Amino acid sequence: MAVVERVKSGSKYEDMFKFSRLVKVDNWIYSSNTAGRNYKTREMSEDVRKQAHQALDNLEGALGGLGAKLSDTVRFHIAVATPADLEPVLEVIAERVGGNDPAHTIAIGPMPHPEMKLEIALIAYLRDPATPDIETKVAV
């Protein structure tokens, strides 16, 4: 029987709308969409790069509660408000995931709040540390 763990990050919306920041089922970790808002101070920068870093900080903190890290991510879902926001967000993600090259799904369109420039969700796989590194293959 699979064990299901839920992680909250302190967003008021988690309690209000009954969702978890992360849900872990066996070794798989699924996140909710995560904005670039500091959940403690409620502040949100106007700068898209700072929002991306904050969203990843929010996710990284939640992942840490499960013994995982951003480099365990196998897929990101990246939603940005405008096409101009996409490249800076992708650059921040590339800085933060290390040598991992996860799959990406990208959406561009309006955000739920006018100050929001992005939301990021992820799927991570927490592998046994004794397991060898994952191999990258190039298809031609």
Q: Could you read off the pLDDT tens digit of each residue along the chain, which spans 140 residues?
A: 788 988 887 778 888 999 888 999 999 999 999 999 998 899 999 999 999 999 999 999 999 999 999 999 999 999 999 999 999 999 999 999 988 899 999 999 999 999 999 999 999 999 876 665 656 556 65
pTM of the predicted protein model? 0.88
Q: Say how far apart CA 62 and CA 42 lie, in whole Å.
A: 17
pLDDT of residue 105: 97
Q: Say how far apart CA 91 and CA 102 lie, in whole Å.
A: 13
pLDDT of residue 127: 81
User: Could you state, in order of their start, the residue ranges of all structural domains in the chain?
Assistant: 4-125
pLDDT of residue 13: 82
CATH of the structural domain 4-125, one choice from 3.30.565.10, 3.30.1650.10, 3.30.1330.40, 3.40.980.10: 3.30.1330.40
Q: Say how far apart CA 65 and CA 44 lie, in whole Å.
A: 23
Sign of CA dihedral 36, 40, 41, 42: positive
Sign of CA dihedral 35, 41, 42, 47: negative
Dig out the tokens for 57 from the structure.
Answer: 């900080």
- Tokens 């992820």: give the residue: 122
Q: Say how far apart CA 99 and CA 71 lie, in whole Å.
A: 8
